[in-house]
Structure 1
Amino acid sequence: MPAEGGRAASMRDVARLAGVSHQTVSRVINDSPRIRPETRARVQAAIAELGYRPSAVARALAHGRSRRIGMIIESSSHYGPLSMLRGSEVAARNAGYSSTTYTVTPGSSESFREGVEFLVGQDVEGLVVIVPRTESLEALGELDLPESCVLLGSLPGRAGDPARHLGLPRVGIDQAAGARLAVQHLLDQGHRVIGHLSGPADWLDAQARQAEWRYVLEQAGLPVPPAAHGDWSPDAGYAAAEQLLQVPGLTAVFAGNDQMALGLIHALSDRGLRIPEDISVVGFDDIPESPHFRPPLTTIHQDFESLGVAGVAVLLAILGEEVPALPRRIDPSLVIRESTRAL
């Protein structure tokens, strides 16, 4: 019996017919001893009924040890995902593994599928997936991802978790905690009208930071101004100044990342406003250039090196390596510089 629409059956179709997860189907294909006989029989019957042919993913993962890890990244031009990739590559190398990276087209399920097939064709033993956009996280559920796969990136805040249906081990930085540190720092300095410059609406990071900014202000009994939105770039930060300055009584802005904070500071300065005397600004990421902004930027530091080490450790543990247990939740920290002041 073919899959719906006459297309070739996928691992998801087998899992649905057998009433199991796609990870269980993968284990049956790879002859895992952890599968109960009755479950194995049910999956094999579904495979036969659908005429399912295991993909290159399943075949390659059944091979011997290559000590190679595949890394899929959707956005290699942004500081956060690129830093995660570098941290993971270093961690893999330090553990005696080589790595191969595939950059996929944002929003394209076919590009993700091609990426998985390409990497497994390189005989990788496992995958690290760095996907920051919510739509792409949801699309991953349509792919036949291997059992040895770790999702690396950010942990969701009050905006929810679009990856909850994937069932993949996940290692990330607590974005809500970082946003809370930023806003609370401004509250502690006496600011009561705090604007927010958010990143793209389809990024999990941006959603989590904006949701926490709103929550902290509401908990403090303060008004929540309309958030401005940008695309993470300095140009977006510059353009957002006009909207933010429409907020009555504005004394501080929490910017969703350091690059947008840079553009915002530029725009405010062009309008004759002083930072932080007139408006305090907090960024997010602690990029290497942030101490050299004028003024040096108060921001939230994300430890991408620790994130890479922890993510690769989780993957190696799945692969049967003896590695120390590391936390899957990385806490960010506040770095206070000269772009904020007390009122």
Structure 2
Amino acid sequence: MAATKQSVKQTPDTEEEAKKVAKLRKRLGVARQVHAIADDPYLKVVELDALRGSITGALWFFLSVGLAYTTVGVQRFIAHGASITDPMWWGAWAVEPALAGMLITVLRWEAAMLIRGIRIESRWVSITKWALLLSTLVMNVLSSIGGAVVEVVLHIIFPALVFCLAEVMPVVQDRFGRARAKILAEIAAHLAAEEAAREADQAKDAPAVTTPALSPPVTVADFAEDFDRAPAPVSPALPPVAPRTPEPTPPAHLPRPKLPAPIAHAVESRAAELAAAGRSITAADVQALIALPAPMAEQAAKYYAAAHAPA
């Protein structure tokens, strides 16, 4: 009787604990789903692109603000002593926007090339940026000489900061491009591992292949009638068949690398260029294009080297 009363007293506590456990299990399931989604590499690519867009927009905005401030100094330097009725006074306002437009155009082109993994190795690009920024700095400093110390300092600091920002922007774009390529390489490696596991499972489940029965051998007597037959006349209306240049075909003895289409196209184009130059693509050439793991780079190099090997 006492045991029954004790069990009856513990029943409400047990039900409350069961409810708490059910709630915690539900929260744990939701947390696991959220973590799995947040850790998905495709979501990382989308978040990285969104972050790159916001940071790039902020950099362009502050660069425009700095160039707007330097416009005043350039106008005052060029239109020194001119009245507002003088056309030179109005034309001086267009000098700094023209210089800024040239600089922004060069920076946009440089950023677009770096995002696509193309290095800018021409020194004339750096010379152009330095010339545009130094011209702005010189005209701003000369326009503020004889004024207050604060004005001189501001006309030195703002062009210098604009110059630093112009040098930082291509670096930002390059690092974003590398981070995106790294995530895409992880996706390619994950897809390749899944495909290999799927093929292994299919090989285990595949039925045994039976050897077909051999047909009787063909002898010369089977073609006796064809030997006595005259050849068919050639029609004069048909043009001669031009020899066809064989195109590179994928090797049948090597598995095709599991790479995203843009990466595979880039590697295949590089392999074709190297084959035209007289050598085969290597794993180092593949890793120079895209940051792939060593085994995947070796597999891709072997496949595309065999595909573009001379006949």
Q: Which structure shows the higher strand fraction?
A: 1
Give me the TM-score of the superposition, normalised by structure 2. Answer: 0.24
Larger Rg: 2
Give me the TM-score of the superposition, normalised by structure 1. Answer: 0.23
